Amino acid sequence: MPTKTKKTTTKRTKKVEQTPEKVLKQELKASESKKISTGTPSGKYYYANGKRKSSVARVRLYKGEGEITINGKPIGKFCQTKLLEETIKYPLKLTGALNRFNVTVLVAGGGVNSQAEAVRHGISKALSISDPLLRPTIKQQGLLTRDSRVKERKKFGLKRARRGPQFSKR
């Protein structure tokens, strides 16, 4: 009976010098693979959903000094105009809570104006949860009521929701 012999293979490894560029690339890859903190504060918070048209805003109020971040951006970067910024801050100014809470928001859907109004609705609801004594003040301004107006659907036989095709006499 013939005997079986094992073949042994030896791996040859090359020593590659590490250039500074390669070291930097490896460090970048390592840092990208690690989870990066989004900077959301931890601890107790008040939560509410705000809605307007097709926009939905998920709002969290933390005790803090008045920072507002929307989708990971500060409010100045998120809002294109001062009017939108004022719309978002209105419930906080109305109740005098502008410098008492840090606000973090995730908003999706719709346009910039409906997103701003959804954020305002969410902040108003979260404020009324945080302090029930603020509720009458907020409700009096109509900030707790969801604006249910949405775009009307297009009907068949018409060009838009109500606009009919142009009439031709001949």
Angle of CA points 72, 74, 80, to nearest 5°: 110
Greater confidence, 15 or 132?
Answer: 132
The reply to whether CATH 3.40.50.10490 applies to domain 45-140 is: no
Residue 153 makes CB contacts below 8 A (sequence gap 6+) with 161
Report pLDDT digits (tens) over 64-86: 999 999 999 999 999 999 999 99
Q: Reply yes or no on whether the pLDDT at 89 is more than 50.
A: yes
| Per-residue pLDDT at 42 | 76
Please state the domain extents for the chain. 45-140
DSSP letter for 112, please.
H
Report pLDDT digits (tens) over 125-147: 999 999 999 999 999 999 999 99
How does residue 94 score in pLDDT terms, banded at 50, 70 and 90?
very high
| Per-residue pLDDT at 170 | 86
